[in-house]
Structure 1
Amino acid sequence: MKKIITSSLFWMLILAVAILTACTNSESSKETNTSTTPNETSSGTEGKKEDDAATGEKISIEFWHSMSGTGQESIDALVKGFNESQDKYEVKAEFQGSYEESLTKLRGVGGTKDAPAITQVFEVGTKYMIDSGYIEPVQKFIDKDNYDLSKLEGNMLNYYRVDGQLYSMPFNSSTPVMIYNKDAFKAAGLDPEKAPETFSEVIDAAAKLKTDEMYGFSMLTYGWFFEQLVATQGGLYVNEDNGRSGDATEALFNGPEGLNVFRFLDTMNKAGTFGNFGTKWDDIRSAFATGKVAMYMDSSAGVAGAIKNAPFEVGVAYIPHADEVQRNGVVIGGASLWMSKGIAEEEQEAAWEFMKYMTTPEVQAKWHLDTGYFAINPAAYEEQSVKEKWAEFPQFKVTVDQLQDTIPGLATQGALISVFPESRQQIVTALEELYQGKDPQEVLDKAAEGTNRAMEIANKTKQ
């Protein structure tokens, strides 16, 4: 495929992404990057790798990632396990900063022999990566190896599969959930074991839960949650089959499904039962832990923190949906692992072997328990360590059940547009204006127009 984004547009997108990233590495930008920069990798290094292969020494590859904190610790442990499991390959995990910082670095070496063998890229970068010319679809190695994809979670694979090809391997995957205060439910006379499921049920529960100190419901001012609430109604974000049968040209999120979401939020905002805690994950999570809001939307990867930090019993439920529709489910968020094009064949083989290792049940069980992200191999949930954890914290199983109950389709497969970060910013602006009292349809139409302009520019600059 051809690269579709010019330098000027790419930098515009990077600036937009820098302020909004769903269920990602919010702490990663605080880490110090001590790894070698792309420009420090010389052609001599490539020569050494070829010599290593010829002399029987281990073939060494780079794995660029953006996980900080416990995520980085877990990756380091998993990489160590792979390196010790065989004597042919050696993977070097290198933290590259936030997702947007890593993607900027990749842009400098992408498609050349100096590129890292594997790069972790967030889900909204999928369309850009496919069109960039930087990557080798993993489908090539799946076909060559007769690798059985049926053992992996289908709803995760669907996001990264386009035109029948799997382009990258899912890795840190998460979805949204609704988290709620069971103690507050009891105090309000609500059943703590039965969370509201529809928009009207949430509105009614929020009214009962509202006190002088606590709001009934809240949602981060962030486009990702809006996308999910549209998708669970079966709504598409853009035309061209959600951007999967061709380059999207028109936003559809301002249709009935998007309007349902904005009216849902507008009703509670006007009733004073909705708490607006802004755009920062830490702020809304702190508000929940301190009893300032009874129900809120979070990432499945945030469940462990919610349970740990709250001085009350925490419940986890599926995200709500409009009353008049069937629940479709959720769209995968997070990131996946991409293989570089232009590197030595031996390095690609090493990258593939590492990817296969990372999908094994034992490895995925550890990743799931270490970080709270889903296991891409459902067999991991049968591991004794996971069973014991779920027995102690049944809230984790709810997140997996919601994913596995998701109905496959264009809506839950997720949209593909190269200007997704900019579109999410348009939604943020629309939500802010909604909370200021503006008309739901008016602000949604404005966000759609902004998205349409961005897509038009991207499509015109396609090379």
Structure 2
Amino acid sequence: MQGMKRKAVLLTAVTAAMMTVSACGTNSENTAGEVNVDQATEAASQTAEGSINEGAAPAAETSKEPVKVVWWHSMGGELGKAATQLVTDFNASQQDIVVEEVYQGTYDESLNKMKASMDDKSGPSLIQVYEIGSRFMIDSGAVTPVQQFIDGEGYSLADLEPNIANYYTFDGKQYSMPFNTSNPILYYNKTLFKNAGLDPEKPPATFEEVAEAAKKLTKDGVTGGSFAIYGWFMEQLFANQGADYVDNGNGRTAAATASLVNTDAGVKTLEWWKSLIDNKTMLNLGRKTDDTKKAFIAGQVAMTLDSTASLRGIVDGVGDKFEVGTAFLPKPAASGDGGVVVGGASLWILNNKPEAEQQAAWTFMKYLAEPATQAKWHINTGYFPITTKAYDEQIVKDNLAKYPQFQTAIDQLHATKAMPATQGAVMGVFPEARQLVETAIEEAFSGQKTPKAALDDAAAAITEKIATYNKTVSK
């Protein structure tokens, strides 16, 4: 009973943490979520009654009728069509399971609906959750770690991309299955580079080189570049310097207790970024990556940062107007080893469903992770395949020939050094923390505060919210 009470209290307290943010490599829409107090109580009761035993995978129950699996996701538009096709293909491939996919809006909206559904168990069998919601999902007590299914049948993770699988591994346990994965890269206009006397085959790799290139590119109505005010980019620029974003091993060795956004890596990054805005070689177009993407496609800016998942749309949008170049995320010349943190989302199995339904959800997860399935998902969406064997599929080879710029994203993922900084920061208040960082960037750009003061204030506010969250978790 004590565990049940703790989980219920936790879910109430973390409501404030699930604030507006999108984490799929874009920053074009904001939503908010609320928490249902009874979610964990119901989940704990299920566990106490023996529906799922920690350390052993649920066994499928015999049933004459196909087991129904309800999958809630946040893939809209063309991404939604690709998700629907995956489900159609799976249902046609066998007769024992029927998956019903339901679009539930943005990640925050979907989480809100999940929490509200826990009372009557009307929610999904599995749900797609953005990567920065991982700590919350674990602490909620509402999920069955996929590690239980992995161990139960000896399922091999050997072919999963290590840097993708690592993000969703906590305390040596795989809690969810990666699904849609991206990271940020530098996009640049090769034609403008050539016209400015820059080598289009040697894109800037450091902060200093970006500044120099931006200065030369700013002429004739064109500005050197524009990076959206997106907290995800700050997180990535930390990781690329090998710098942790929160303490305690980026929240991996123990629960994070303090934000490190105001440390040297953050201050130098924001000072560099602000200097480009101040000397008018970079445009400040606000928080939405949709706006910077449009400016780049229109040829108004020569460089931008965006998700790897945006590559196809950018290349197709540009057409034959100019040649699109791609490069690794830049970092200070003097920084150490690092790399990028995966963005996107993963799939979580909810533990308030019958054993057979959870097992069926796991079967569907395995299908989604197969090389052929990941190959189709990759070419239709631009997200990374989560398995290395997908690159052996002919359709992936053909797609890479059509969009050679994606090789940059593959190389950057594989060049990333495994360490806490690149495994990704973990904290239960990540969505709210991201917005506080975005506000700090705006305050620095406007001159309201110095970069150091803005980040000091953001770090203090984030640390306070982490403390509140941790106190609730420990009860």
Fold match by TM threshold 0.5: yes
Tell me if the contact between 1:78 and 1:363 (Cα under 8 Å) persists in the aligned partners.
Answer: yes
Partner of 2:460: 449
Moved more, 114-123 or 173-182: 114-123
Does 2:438 align with 1:428? yes
Tell me if the contact between 2:165 and 2:178 (Cα under 8 Å) persists in the aligned partners.
Answer: yes
The separation in 2 between residues aligned to 1:90 and 1:208, in whole angstroms, is: 57
Among 372, 390, 393, the alignment partner of 1:362 is 372
**Deviation at 1:55?**
4.9
The separation in 1 between residues aligned to 2:27 and 2:351, in whole angstroms, is: 26
SS in 2 for 1:297: strand
The separation in 1 between residues aligned to 2:61 and 2:143, in whole angstroms, is: 22
Moved more, 162-171 or 276-285: 276-285
Partner of 1:228: 236
Tell me if the contact between 1:171 and 1:336 (Cα under 8 Å) persists in the aligned partners.
Answer: yes
Distance 1:433 1:11, change over 3 A: same
**Deviation at 1:12?**
2.4
**Deviation at 1:228?**
0.2
Partner of 2:355: 345
**Deviation at 1:461?**
2.4
Among 312, 316, 338, the alignment partner of 1:328 is 338
The separation in 2 between residues aligned to 1:284 and 1:10, in whole angstroms, is: 32
Does 2:125 align with 1:117? yes
The separation in 1 between residues aligned to 2:140 and 2:293, in whole angstroms, is: 36
Distance 1:435 1:307, change over 3 A: same
Does 2:70 align with 1:62? yes
The separation in 1 between residues aligned to 2:8 and 2:451, in whole angstroms, is: 33
Does 2:271 align with 1:263? yes
**Deviation at 1:113?**
4.6
SS in 1 for 2:7: coil
**Deviation at 1:274?**
1.3
Distance 1:388 1:5, change over 3 A: farther
The separation in 2 between residues aligned to 1:392 and 1:368, in whole angstroms, is: 13
Does 2:216 align with 1:208? yes
**Deviation at 1:67?**
0.3
Does 2:406 align with 1:404? no
The separation in 2 between residues aligned to 1:225 and 1:132, in whole angstroms, is: 27
Tell me if the contact between 2:168 and 2:178 (Cα under 8 Å) persists in the aligned partners.
Answer: yes
Does 2:172 align with 1:164? yes
SS in 2 for 1:351: helix
Tell me if the contact between 2:10 and 2:140 (Cα under 8 Å) persists in the aligned partners.
Answer: no
The separation in 2 between residues aligned to 1:164 and 1:347, in whole angstroms, is: 25
Q: Which amino acid aligns with 1:90?
A: V
Partner of 1:131: 139
Does 2:148 align with 1:146? no
**Deviation at 1:382?**
1.4
The separation in 2 between residues aligned to 1:114 and 1:24, in whole angstroms, is: 30
Partner of 1:189: 197
Q: Deviations over 1:321-369 (max 9, x none)?
A: 1110234110010000001112111011101111111111100000000
The separation in 2 between residues aligned to 1:295 and 1:327, in whole angstroms, is: 24
Among 322, 326, 330, the alignment partner of 1:316 is 326
Among 263, 267, 290, the alignment partner of 1:282 is 290
Q: Which amino acid aligns with 1:166?
A: Q
SS in 2 for 1:179: strand
Q: Which amino acid aligns with 2:451?
A: P
Query: Which segments of 5 or more consecutive residues in structure 1 lack a partner in the other structure?
Result: 30-37, 39-51
Q: Deviations over 1:383-440 (max 9, x none)?
A: 1111111112210111111111110000000011011111111111111111112311
Partner of 1:3: 7
The separation in 2 between residues aligned to 1:28 and 1:85, in whole angstroms, is: 37
Partner of 2:56: none
Partner of 2:398: 388
SS in 2 for 1:216: coil
Q: Deviations over 1:38-86 (max 9, x none)?
A: 9xxxxxxxxxxxxx96551111110110101111111111111111111
Query: Which segments of 5 or more consecutive residues in structure 2 lack a partner in the other structure?
Result: 32-38, 40-59
The separation in 1 between residues aligned to 2:29 and 2:82, in whole angstroms, is: 15
The separation in 2 between residues aligned to 1:159 and 1:3, in whole angstroms, is: 24
Tell me if the contact between 2:28 and 2:288 (Cα under 8 Å) persists in the aligned partners.
Answer: no
Tell me if the contact between 1:169 and 1:355 (Cα under 8 Å) persists in the aligned partners.
Answer: yes
Tell me if the contact between 1:67 and 1:95 (Cα under 8 Å) persists in the aligned partners.
Answer: yes
Overall identity of the aligned pairs, in %? 44
Q: Deviations over 1:257-285 (max 9, x none)?
A: 11121121022122211110111122111
Distance 1:306 1:356, change over 3 A: same
Partner of 1:89: 97
Distance 1:25 1:270, change over 3 A: closer
SS in 2 for 1:170: strand
TM-score using structure 1 length: 0.91
Partner of 1:44: none
Root-mean-square deviation (Å): 2.0
Distance 1:191 1:389, change over 3 A: same
Tell me if the contact between 2:22 and 2:29 (Cα under 8 Å) persists in the aligned partners.
Answer: no
Q: Which amino acid aligns with 2:123?
A: A
Q: Which amino acid aligns with 2:70?
A: E
Distance 1:8 1:132, change over 3 A: closer
Q: Which amino acid aligns with 1:3?
A: K
Distance 1:425 1:135, change over 3 A: same
Tell me if the contact between 1:121 and 1:336 (Cα under 8 Å) persists in the aligned partners.
Answer: yes
Distance 1:321 1:27, change over 3 A: closer
Q: Which amino acid aligns with 1:441?
A: K
Tell me if the contact between 2:26 and 2:307 (Cα under 8 Å) persists in the aligned partners.
Answer: no
Q: Which amino acid aligns with 2:212?
A: D
The separation in 2 between residues aligned to 1:151 and 1:408, in whole angstroms, is: 17
Does 2:465 align with 1:461? no
**Deviation at 1:108?**
2.0
